[in-house]
Structure 1
């Protein structure tokens, strides 16, 4: 049986980073440590960021691997990193919520779509930033699992 796409252990609260590379590494590290992806997927996430920013607006970034890193995904999973003070993603874009995605086969499109809907509502982002624990933050993502 595969594990849930998103669980409490996949959430990191109150993180702070020196820059976006460190933030993306942490987001990927959670996915790797929980067995969703191989370690090399983290590099693919950084590569992806070089190609095009994963900043989505509303203080959210959704780092994920490149097309050719799909073979490094063991099963679909998400990681969420809350950065109350924000991390600079360049061009004045401050990210306070990072959502790492690893989608097996074409599941990532479905997952991305659900996340995009959740993150397009500013009140949901505010709730995620105001959340004092993993469970409260996760409650914003119930329809993803």
Structure 2
């Protein structure tokens, strides 16, 4: 996983899960990894099947049909200390770390697998959520990359 400093964001806040997903998509688009249409596919993907993965993480990514909108593999990591609710008021699913991904070919599955392995240990998620800088987040994630 190649991590770019400009795609790691600390101390973000969002009013809704849609706003959070769009932020991730815009970061990937601005970095040249995806076309604009991929952002809407990320919203659609969450409507089809929740991108909340448990352990306080969500992995915004596009639908299978949107693979043609991916220009190069990329990942954005967004820390949200106050959390974003990917569930409902009655059944909240709070994510404090978002991994927005776009992958060419099999990169997509490989990225999800690496994130899942790292975040299976909730202590690792807590470390990411508590990180005070882009560099600290990068060091934590590169230890498993």
Using the size of structure 1 for normalisation, the TM-score is: 0.94
Match of residue 3 from structure 2: 6
Q: 2: CA distance between counterparts of 1:63 and 1:93?
A: 14
Structure 2 residue corresponding to 1:31, chosen from 28, 32, 37: 28
List 4+ stretches of structure 1 deviating above 3 A: none
Match of residue 19 from structure 1: 16
Match of residue 85 from structure 1: 82
Contact 1:62-1:98 at 8 Å conserved across structures: yes
Cα deviation, residue 118, structure 1: 0.6
Question: What pairs with 1:60-139 in structure 2 (closer than 5 Å)?
Answer: 60-90=57-87, 91-139=91-139
Cα RMSD, aligned residues only:
1.0
Match of residue 41 from structure 1: 38
Tell me how many residue pairs correspond in the alignment: 141
Contact 1:55-1:61 at 8 Å conserved across structures: yes
Q: Write the deviation string for residues 72-128 of structure 1: whole angstroms up to 9, x where unpaired.
A: 101110001100000111131111100001010111111111110011111111110
Cα deviation, residue 140, structure 1: 2.0
Q: Write the deviation string for residues 24-79 of structure 1: whole angstroms up to 9, x where unpaired.
A: 00011110000011111110000000000010111100010000100110111000
Q: 1: CA distance between counterparts of 2:131 and 2:34?
A: 27
Using the size of structure 2 for normalisation, the TM-score is: 0.94
Uncovered stretches (5+) of structure 2, i.e. residues with no partner? none
